[in-house]
Structure 1
Amino acid sequence: MATGNYHLNGANYGPPIRSPVRTYYSEDRTSGADVCCSICACFSSCLFCCGSCLVNIICTIFFYAAVTLGVIALFLWLLLRPTVMKFQVTDANLTSFELDPQSQNLHYNLSLNFAIRNPNQRLGIRYDQLEVRGYYGDERFGAVNMTSFYQGHKNTALVGTELKGQNLVLLDAGGRRDLREDRKSVIYRIDVKLRLKMRFKFAFLNSWAFKPKIKCHLKVPLSTASSAGGFQFHPTKCHVDL
């Protein structure tokens, strides 16, 4: 029998017809879990969008509020024009200033009177804290707190205090040399520094707190000595640094 020839009952029917292979494809159906995830993703996207809009609104409100407050502050500053107060030591009386060479304790007694001028026409000044410190060279030898008070506009306040006691003072070579010279001349070079906490006041409004630094370079004769050559203390203006 030749290849490809088929005989059935002597008749030639040709090659057999094969049934076509039927291929079945399953439909792509979305499960319930996928639908749920899609809904959650859509909801999260909406929340993110709303959150971004809310943040933008809040930032815009804060921006315009800051600009408005800045304009108001600038207007008040130009209207009121606050001016720094002026400090002056009107009188200083030194009755004791002696360093013990053994213990390095400095015995001191210094009385001070200050004139504090508020030059502002519309602003008062509230002094919440006042501290007076005495220095010889770079070494602090004493400090005292003063009573807080309120000062009206265009006003000069006269206040006084006293630095008295003894304290350990370690002077370097330059400081000891200056002390020998001052002891010989009986005129002592003393620095007085004031540390303040103050606020400007307009009507019922108070400003934020300022902490200016005031420094006064003094030359004070020892009042118990008679060899100062007739030198007397002169009123001394202080440097104010805001």
Structure 2
Amino acid sequence: MSVKECTHHKERKKKLVQRFCGCLLILLFIILLTILIIWAVLQPKKPRFTLQDATIFNFNVSAPNIFSTTLQISISSRNPNSRIGIYYDNLDVFATYRDQQITYYTVIPAVYQGHKDVNLWSPFLYGNNVPIAPFNGPQLKEDQAAGAVWLTVKVSGRVRWKVGTVITGRYHLHVTCPAYIPFGNTPRYGGIVVGNAVKYQLSQRCEVTAS
């Protein structure tokens, strides 16, 4: 084989590789552009959570820095999307006081939420003799003297979006719901006696982030 034929063969192979790479880049660009257009048309929105109420069975401070908590909350989730469904996977609900967790995790079963659908969950939250960090002690004493405390109910888990028959990967979901909870089991601040518990209507909008 001559040197000229060998050089021609290499140049032809090089052009084929360049064409292949060019076609591949164009195909990837078209796919990404299509996804962006579909995403823009659908305008996906995060689910909207609302803390509806809290029923208090037990809520007290048994020592200067120790919480004991038994309460049931009602929290709703609405899918605002008209073309996108939502899969909720392994949601955990718990309560915190000044960024410190004071109840155990309560698991909400996995569920699919259709377009514009609303789901309502009523999990129990428990925390027995949970110690509070010393630096939160003074604030806890002030709250106890006032007869009520600001807690934060949180929901943490993963969600997947469904568009037609396409289901995305999992995204982290974080929900934060502030709640003003009275101490003891007496009907303060408009509470309604329900058996041996007191129910408070909250209707508190929650902050939702997904990443």
- Normalising by the residue count of structure 2, what TM-score does the alignment of the two structures yield? 0.80
Quick check: 1:90–1:235 contact (8 Å CA) kept in 2? yes
More strand by share: 2
Quick check: 1:95–1:222 contact (8 Å CA) kept in 2? no
Distance change in 2, residues 1:229/1:91 (3 Å): closer
> Aligned pair 1:236/2:198, yes or no?
no
Quick check: 2:44–2:81 contact (8 Å CA) kept in 1? yes
Letter in 2 for 1:193: K
Quick check: 2:175–2:209 contact (8 Å CA) kept in 1? yes
Letter in 1 for 2:44: P
Residue aligned with 2:161, SS: strand
The structure, 1 or 2, with the larger RCO (C-alpha pairs under 8 Å, 6+ apart) is: 2
Quick check: 1:83–1:120 contact (8 Å CA) kept in 2? yes
Gaps of 5+ in 1: 1-38
Aligned residue pair count: 199
Letter in 2 for 1:234: L
1:176 to 137, 140, 159: 137
- Structure 1 runs (4+) deviating above 6 angstroms are 45-48
Aligned to 1:141: 102
Distance change in 2, residues 1:90/1:52 (3 Å): same
**1:25-174 alignment runs, 5 A limit:** 53=15, 55-101=17-63, 105-142=66-103, 143-166=105-128, 168-173=130-135
> Aligned pair 1:213/2:174, yes or no?
yes
* Higher deviation after alignment, 92-101 or 207-216: 92-101
* Whole-angstrom distance in 2 between the partners of 1:155 and 1:115: 11
* Whole-angstrom distance in 2 between the partners of 1:50 and 1:100: 83
- Normalising by the residue count of structure 1, what TM-score does the alignment of the two structures yield? 0.71
Distance change in 2, residues 1:72/1:225 (3 Å): same
Per-residue deviation, 1:138: 1.8
Per-residue deviation, 1:64: 1.5
Letter in 1 for 2:75: F
* Whole-angstrom distance in 1 between the partners of 2:129 and 2:101: 9
Aligned to 1:202: 163
Aligned to 1:190: 151
- Answer with 1 or 2: which has the greater Rg: 1
Distance change in 2, residues 1:222/1:46 (3 Å): farther
Alignment deviations for residues 70-92 of structure 1 (CA, whole Å, 9 cap, x no partner): 11112211332212210001111
Per-residue deviation, 1:55: 4.9
Per-residue deviation, 1:167: 5.5
Letter in 1 for 2:72: S
